[in-house]
Structure 1
Amino acid sequence: MKILLELLRIIIIFVFFGSLGVMVIRNTYKSLEVTETYSWIGEISILIILFVLYKNKWQFTGCYKRKDREKLAKRVSLTLILISIVLIISPFIIDSLLV
């Protein structure tokens, strides 16, 4: 039962914060006049950031306590965050190169 509650918690976290992040990304791209065709690239970065947050922080606050829980390695976390930053910036670069 605790596993199902944790799965529901993960789904709610990703849907709520993912939707919030996607709204921010879309509005930012729209206000800065970036083509909305490439907004999906920035939206993928939101999912990566949420994954890093879950693995490093949120998994330790849930009701399901496993023994094999551990954080991502610092190098992996840093790499994923840098990839997310590049993905957020890339629609601006792609748009300026194709115009």
Structure 2
Amino acid sequence: MSRRVLSCCQWCGREIAESEIGRRRRYCRQSCRQRAYEHRNSVKGTGIPEDSVVLSAQEVADLSDRWFAARCAAEDVATAVSEGAEMIELADLTATLVALTREAERLR
């Protein structure tokens, strides 16, 4: 019986469910593997490390917005806890927080 292990795509950050048998997958899809290959080749000879992540200004702004939303959700949870919120409200707030942090993990 093989157990499923979760890891993240090294290009887009999506979760990858994989078997314990064999080599671990680095990318969730062939297109992510291709984008990573293109990126590695584009930085050759530039002095930029191959494992660096190069983001456009828009991607950086989007990532910043996602992390801001996650921080606001965490503050909402903290406020609700300090005010003695009901369990159902806390469950809803934490579900939102988890969803926002998963989204914030994406680099692209």
Instruction: Answer yes or no: same fold by TM over 0.5.
Output: no
TM-score (norm 1): 0.32
* Larger Rg computed on CA atoms: 2
Q: Which has the higher contact order (CA 8 A, sep 6+)?
A: 1
TM-score (norm 2): 0.30
Q: Which has the higher helix share?
A: 1
